[in-house]
Amino acid sequence: MTGTLPRLSQSKPKTVFFRYLGWSENDERHKRLYGLIMEEAAQGRARTCQHRENLTPQTRADPHVTAPYSSAMITETARHHEVKYIYECASPETRVIYDRGVMQDGANWDNWIIRWCLWHVFRYRDDRNRNRSGGNRNTCHDLQYNGVVEEAVPSGYYDPVYDIHRR
């Protein structure tokens, strides 16, 4: 497999992500690039959580489930399609960053950088909406990314998504 996927026991905070990219959180250029890739991830999240065809079969079968959807309702196939779409439509500036996260094993392609960003955007938004009083729980509201990353994450996740190498 080409590309380097960090082996982490759970999704790690931005500081670890920066370290794997060789970035400094004090460098304005790195902070700006981080903002750009997270904005592309937020746009990807907006696309993904608005379409019923992206839902898991059990969620899709429930007529009471309405858009926008939480990350737990989205299929791995939909996530993978969005990772590829973000990569293909990336700006020249962010494509250079994403190229560093490409993982290729025969016909299987993935990108750990885009997955990390998507996971964190989904995680931040899902948690934020879950904690809202009077709001629709577990949904994808407030689609504009504001630069805040949820750092407390559940164990059992690989960075960015699963505790496995994708093949």
Q: Would 78 be classed as within a structural domain?
A: yes
Helical packing angle, 112-130 and 92-99, nearest 10°? 110
**What residues contact 32, with CB distance under 8 A and at least 6 apart?**
none
Torsion, Cα of 34, 40, 45, 50 (10° steps)? 160
Q: Would 72 be classed as within a structural domain?
A: yes
Q: Would 55 be classed as within a structural domain?
A: yes
Q: What is the pLDDT of residue 70?
A: 84
Name the residue with tokens 């969620």.
59
Q: Would 48 be classed as within a structural domain?
A: yes
Cα separation of 29 and 11, whole Å? 24
Q: Would 109 be classed as within a structural domain?
A: yes
Distances (CA, A) of 11 to 43, 45, 108, 117: 21, 18, 22, 10
Q: Is the pLDDT of residue 95 over 60?
A: yes
Range scoring the smallest mean pLDDT among 13-17, 70-74, 94-98, 130-134: 130-134
Cα separation of 114 and 110, whole Å? 9
Q: Would 167 be classed as within a structural domain?
A: no
Beta-bridged to residue 109, according to DSSP, are 104
Give the chain's domain count.
1
Q: Is the pLDDT of residue 103 over 60?
A: yes
Q: What is the pLDDT of residues 35-88, one digit of tens each?
A: 999 999 999 999 998 889 999 999 999 999 988 788 889 999 999 999 999 999
Q: Would 144 be classed as within a structural domain?
A: no
Structural domain containing residue 49:
19-130
Cβ neighbours, 10 Å, residue 136: 13
Q: Would 149 be classed as within a structural domain?
A: no
Determine phi and psi for 74, rounding to 5 degrees: -90, 135
